[in-house]
Structure 1
Amino acid sequence: MIEILSESGLATVQDLGRSGALRWGVGTAGAMDGMALACGNLLLGNEEGAAAIEAQVFPFEVRFETDGAFAITGADCSATLDGDPLPPWSAAWAVAGAVLRLGLPAPGRWRGARAYLCVEGGIDVPAVLGSRSTQLRGAIGGFEGRALRRGDRMRSAPPASGAPGVAEVGVVPPVIALPLDVDGHIAVRVLPAAEYDRFKPASHRAFWSEPWKVTPHSDRYGFRLAGPALETLAPLEMRSHGIVPGVIQVPPGGQPIVQMCDAQPSGGYPKIGTVIEADLWRLGQAPIGGSVRFVETAWDDALAALDGNRRWLDEARRLLDLHRTRSTAR
């Protein structure tokens, strides 16, 4: 069991998301950086989608009330356990009473904005519509459907039968293993969307060539970006229609909004592009005040990128299992 010690600033319980519920008006939720959550679980021998805590305001502290293994991935937050430093992207063991502290993310465009605390067995909260993720709008899933507060206590589920166990080794983060940046900015690949041709040529050029700043009005629902105003060829009114995380809508003011994990399932603004599924984790780690660049891609390349993510996770699993086997043989 763990106890939240800090006013957590919208820390929530998340897994890899709630698929199949958009038709009922329920968003996907899930980790903003699914690669980090999956890797943290692999370090512990959990299923990739086991529930964990996503922290996005720091410092963040928890106390372990029982002995247990945990892993920290995502943003490099100079984590300490009872004051002793912990390496990022690795697993460790805590004894009852130990306090884990996540400090401010280290500076640098690749250091990230969100950290993940995974525990052996996963955070034990009820599954709602097939997921343990917190959907704040509607108070669905997670810990009582809300953000975590000081004094909240959560149990970990028992490790699955036949789980490989904890790997006492670190992992190279995917942002290093799978780099993608443009002129020093975080970059994400984008498919032109349905209304792309309804925008002016100058807006097309600006969309692909200019950096876009992540404004303070950004959150898990959507990233509101600041940059050159994007203009349509003519005024465009649309009925509300289905949208998914990654869709880039452009409201009348011309400043794009990227729908993120907690996005509502419908919207009526014209869509200029869609961040590919394989790169949503990159965007999810963009800090407030940071900037991103959009890189045009094609459907086949988007599928290949998703396959590349899968290969990275499979290789991480293979190497961690190999390390466990060698450690047992000693």
Structure 2
Amino acid sequence: MTFLNVQQIGPMATVQDLGRRGLQHAGVSGSGPMDAPSFRIANALVGNEPSSAALEFAGVGGSFTVSRPVRFAVTGGDVDIRLDGMKAYSWESYDLLPGMTLSIGALRDCVWGYLAISGGVNVAPVLGSRSTHLGTGLGGHEGRRLQIGDRLPIGEAGASANLALRQPWRRDARPIQIVYGPQDDCFSADVQETLLGTLFTVSARRDRMAQMLDGAPIRAAAGHDIVSDGTCPGSIQVPASGRLLVLMAERQTAGGYPKIATVASVDLPRLAQVVSGRAIRFARISQEQAEERLIGERQALRDTLANLVAKPRGDNQRGDTLH
């Protein structure tokens, strides 16, 4: 069996695939990557199926070795990557051979990074997924964050070329788009205007379950306790503190705080990648607009994956003709 050996690791590294489906009624949220487009691109760059498991890390990657030749790719954003001291680059794939050390440093201007290995991380599926759900200890590698000394099994991979993006995956600075509801009627018109008319700062109080936003308090007219109902990725809960709480990949499946709005699915990965301390602004769109923009984003991702560029054969360095 082939293994990916963890020599050093950041504080929030887990095994993820595209997540679990159909278990919210049992209290199990989907988990999966915080930035699904970056995750999908990483797998495509090494020739994996979209559902293959990879590593997600926050802030800092780590150091890794392997017991047989593999391809790897790192995505998510700009990061210092070294292959036996040789500089490598995100958003393209390279060969990692036995005896080499892959080192991934700190992410710059983003939060979540992805390391895909050809063949995928072949941990045993739990409830239909290899994703780690930290809150319940399900899936991944022993249901927990990775640590030094872990050995992760790698699946078999077919032969393919090393690849690179033709152009960087887009990530613009437009306002974060939201759809009002389901409990926007709990908030006055003035409060709703405050939501759209002021800046909010991404707090350092964040994890895979939720991220808190600092800014003007948002108050519900009739209080902040409701009969618990279902949540979805991007639900913006408003507890009694008035501080906005955006639910993310490992959210609870039901909650008793009113939800003034929901972050549009097209913008949730972008919000996840906003670094702590940076200000954001919201823009209201309709449900129909949110659906149209998500469809457009998915088509743009398909086009990106269909137009990956093959690097020169045997080239384990950055190809000048690709950039």
TM-score normalised by L of structure 2: 0.91
CA distance in 1, matches of 2:269, 2:278: 15
Aligned to 1:122: 120
In the TM superposition, what is the alpha-carbon distance from 1:167 to its structure 2 partner?
Answer: 3.7
Counterpart amino acid of 2:120?
G
In the TM superposition, what is the alpha-carbon distance from 1:228 to its structure 2 partner?
Answer: 0.1
Aligned to 1:138: 136
Aligned to 1:197: 185
Deviations 1:266-295 (A, max 9, x none): 100000000111222111212222232212
Unaligned runs of 5+ in 2: 314-323
Q: Does the 8 Å CA contact 2:13/2:56 hold for their aligned counterparts? A: yes
Cα RMSD (Å) of the superposition?
2.0
Aligned to 2:320: none
Task: List, as ranges, runs of 4+ consecutive aligned residues in structure 1 with deviation greater than 4 Å.
Answer: 323-327
Q: State the SS of the aligned residue for 1:104.
A: strand
Aligned to 2:110: 112
CA distance in 1, matches of 2:159, 2:25: 37
Do structure 1's residue 155 and structure 2's residue 157 form an aligned pair?
no
Aligned to 1:313: 301
CA distance in 1, matches of 2:117, 2:273: 21
The change in CA–CA distance for 1:73 and 1:265 in structure 2 (over 3 A counts) is same
Aligned to 2:29: 27
Deviations 1:3-60 (A, max 9, x none): 1122430200011111111111111110000000101111112111211000113252
The change in CA–CA distance for 1:124 and 1:26 in structure 2 (over 3 A counts) is same
In the TM superposition, what is the alpha-carbon distance from 1:201 to its structure 2 partner?
Answer: 2.4
Do structure 1's residue 256 and structure 2's residue 258 form an aligned pair?
no
Q: State the SS of the aligned residue for 1:23.
A: helix
Q: State the SS of the aligned residue for 1:215.
A: strand
Q: Does the 8 Å CA contact 2:74/2:92 hold for their aligned counterparts? A: yes
Q: Does the 8 Å CA contact 1:69/1:166 hold for their aligned counterparts? A: no
Which has the larger displacement, 122-131 or 199-208?
199-208
In the TM superposition, what is the alpha-carbon distance from 1:130 to its structure 2 partner?
Answer: 1.6
Identity of paired residues, percent? 32
Unaligned runs of 5+ in 1: none
Aligned to 1:216: 204
Do structure 1's residue 175 and structure 2's residue 170 form an aligned pair?
yes
Q: Does the 8 Å CA contact 1:76/1:115 hold for their aligned counterparts? A: no
Q: State the SS of the aligned residue for 2:8.
A: coil
In the TM superposition, what is the alpha-carbon distance from 1:164 to its structure 2 partner?
Answer: 7.4
Counterpart amino acid of 1:6?
Q
The change in CA–CA distance for 1:171 and 1:48 in structure 2 (over 3 A counts) is farther
CA distance in 2, matches of 1:208, 1:164: 50
In the TM superposition, what is the alpha-carbon distance from 1:307 to its structure 2 partner?
Answer: 1.1
Aligned to 2:10: 8
CA distance in 1, matches of 2:281, 2:50: 29
Q: Does the 8 Å CA contact 2:79/2:89 hold for their aligned counterparts? A: no
Q: Does the 8 Å CA contact 1:191/1:298 hold for their aligned counterparts? A: yes
Do structure 1's residue 233 and structure 2's residue 221 form an aligned pair?
yes
The change in CA–CA distance for 1:19 and 1:291 in structure 2 (over 3 A counts) is farther
Counterpart amino acid of 1:131?
S
Do structure 1's residue 270 and structure 2's residue 258 form an aligned pair?
yes
Which has the larger displacement, 302-311 or 59-68?
59-68
The change in CA–CA distance for 1:206 and 1:164 in structure 2 (over 3 A counts) is farther
Deviations 1:190-213 (A, max 9, x none): 100121122122321221122211
* More helix, by proportion: 1
Do structure 1's residue 70 and structure 2's residue 72 form an aligned pair?
yes
In the TM superposition, what is the alpha-carbon distance from 1:241 to its structure 2 partner?
Answer: 1.3
Aligned to 1:88: 90
Q: State the SS of the aligned residue for 1:40.
A: helix
Q: Does the 8 Å CA contact 1:220/1:260 hold for their aligned counterparts? A: yes
Q: State the SS of the aligned residue for 2:292.
A: helix
Which has the larger displacement, 295-304 or 266-275?
295-304
* More strand, by proportion: 2
Do structure 1's residue 290 and structure 2's residue 278 form an aligned pair?
yes
- What is the aligned length? 312
CA distance in 2, matches of 1:164, 1:277: 34
In the TM superposition, what is the alpha-carbon distance from 1:325 to its structure 2 partner?
Answer: 11
